[in-house]
Amino acid sequence: MSDMTHLTESAQRTYELDREHVFHSWSAQAALKPMVIERAEGSYVWDGEGNRLLDFSSQLVNTNIGHQHPRVVDAIREQAARLCTIAPQHANDQRSEAARLVAEVAPEGMHTVFFTNAGAEAVEHAVRMARLHTGRIKVLSTYHSYHGGTATAVNITGDPRRWANDYGSAGVVHFFGPFLYRSAFHSTTEEQERDRALQHLEQLVAFEGPQTIAAIVLETIPGTAGIMPPPPGYLAGVREICDRYGIVLVLDEVMAGFGRTGAWLALDHYGVVPDLITLAKGVNSGYVPLGGVIISDAIAQTFADRVYPGGLTYSGHPLACAAVVATINAMRDEQMVENADRIGREVLGPGLRELAERHPAVGDVRGLGVFLAVELVKDRSTKEPLAPYGGTSPAMNELVAACKQRGLLPFTNYNRLHVVPPCNVSEAEAKDGLAILDEALAVADAHTTA
């Protein structure tokens, strides 16, 4: 909404109160002009001017079952009428069933779930468990990553949001993961990128001292940092390094998990079993805040007779867990994971690659399921990005505006457009989104130099 004069009366009051009282995350407050969202349903949201927008962002890539799914809304309503909240030391039926369902989609040998309120807290606790389990301190993670905004999680993060929060005292060491399009290793093939990235990690482990490293934390498929599926064999190679040196492997599935990639967990594509899995977002579509850590039997055994020094007042909150139970059951019954896989393979993937052939601003298309990224460049030959690392540009702002004007709510980060609709997006909706992107990309093309 570039012009606030067209807001409805209720939206105008919402906007004014927001600007007077609400402090927004990751933002300089004075320049903000937040879009007012008044309602949502399925793959659509309605803004404060009454415009309907196809949600190709899934908000922050979390409404995996779309907005206002009736089964989940009903489950929350029914749970609220029966038991709104209960302290985490007590067992309750929704938390027990949610833990069972989550463990059911995890690899064999991972039967225990610790619930948190969000993904960042899940990462915090996964690292704490790894450090206590190993008796070591250091944690390794990649530069192209995002793991959350809390103290440990933001230091593990590799993107620029870490910089202002990094005091160099968190015991975190960063390394380069594989990313062929902008290879740090001058690779020309996926095989080279895999092998050189693993050699780089192996050398880093040796130089840092294997006996000092508690965990390697990786997003199975980096999300906000660029949706970069690792080359075949890379995660297996990391697993082997961890096994050799007694390092805990943590796979962060907060964004990539629960249907997003066309599999229940993104790790299902790679056949790798970590020691800890972090989750949030898609597990209940973000309807009620919830995160968690899926714990291997070996690490769970560490705390069988040893107190785990951590907890949360709202761990396994009944309303959040009721939403988990309803979400997972709805995803299964309505085959949303299979739909995400099919839409990615048959509609969005081919459609975006076809757009790339006609739009010079598109440098790369990558991803799985409904977890796709379009890399936008000024020049395909030099790969100069359409916006600088850690920032935006007039070209990207114009692209976002063009999408919204045509009825599409996009997800952009730096020079990338992420195509991340709900897992139950219809084929017709996906094609509508592609048609809008086709028109909007012409705006980006105008900023290319070759």
Per-residue model confidence as pLDDT tens digits over 31-53: 999 999 999 999 999 999 999 99
In contact, 117 and 314? CB cutoff 8 Å? yes
Q: Which is more confidently placed, 235 or 166? A: 235
Tell whether 45 and 119 lie within a shared domain: no
In contact, 38 and 47? CB cutoff 8 Å? yes
Per-residue model confidence as pLDDT tens digits over 206-226: 999 999 999 999 999 999 999
Q: Exposure string (b/e) for 108-131, b if CB count within 10 Å is 16 or more?
A: eebebbbbbbbbbbbbbbbbbbbb
The reported pTM is 0.96
What is the structure's pLDDT at 350? Answer: 98
Domain-embedded: residue 450: no
Q: What is the largest CA-CA distance in the chain?
A: 65
Tell whether 106 and 229 lie within a shared domain: yes
In contact, 43 and 422? CB cutoff 8 Å? yes
Nearest to 284 by CA among 65, 13, 35: 65
The residue out of 292, 309, 333 marking a domain boundary is 333
Tell whether 187 and 125 lie within a shared domain: yes
| pLDDT above 50: residue 2 | no
Nearest to 56 by CA among 441, 432, 350, 443: 432
DSSP code per residue over 180-233: GGG-TT--SSHHHHHHHHHHHHHHHHHHH-GGGEEEEEEESS--TTT--PPPTT
Cα–Cα distances in angstroms (integers) from residue 176 to residues 218, 226, 443, in the given order: 11, 14, 33
Tell whether 271 and 408 lie within a shared domain: no
The residue out of 333, 366, 394 marking a domain boundary is 333
Tell whether 329 and 204 lie within a shared domain: yes
What is the structure's pLDDT at 1? Answer: 44
Per-residue model confidence as pLDDT tens digits over 345-396: 999 999 999 999 999 999 999 999 999 999 999 999 999 999 999 999 999 9
Sequence length of the chain is 450
Nearest to 138 by CA among 169, 166, 160: 169
CATH number, position 49? 3.90.1150.10
- What SS3 state is found at 79? helix
Phi, psi of 384 (to 5 degrees): -60, 125
Tell whether 61 and 81 lie within a shared domain: no
Per-residue model confidence as pLDDT tens digits over 166-176: 888 879 999 99
Domain count, the chain: 2
Which pair of tokens denotes residue 386? 């359409």
The residue out of 276, 307, 333 marking a domain boundary is 333
What is the structure's pLDDT at 170? Answer: 79
Full domain range(s) for residue 16: 4-68+336-445
Per-residue model confidence as pLDDT tens digits over 251-306: 999 999 999 999 999 999 999 999 999 999 999 999 999 999 999 999 999 999 99
CATH number, position 127? 3.40.640.10
Phi, psi of 418 (to 5 degrees): -100, 130
Domain-embedded: residue 207: yes
Tell whether 313 and 415 lie within a shared domain: no
Mean pLDDT in residue range 124-130: 98
Domain-embedded: residue 85: yes
Tell whether 181 and 292 lie within a shared domain: yes
| pLDDT above 80: residue 5 | no
Which pair of tokens denotes residue 210? 């294997």
What is the structure's pLDDT at 4? Answer: 63
Tell whether 438 and 305 lie within a shared domain: no
What is the side-by-side strand order in the sheet with 408-409? 37-41, 44-47, 52-55, 408-409
| pLDDT above 70: residue 137 | yes
Mean pLDDT of the chain: 96
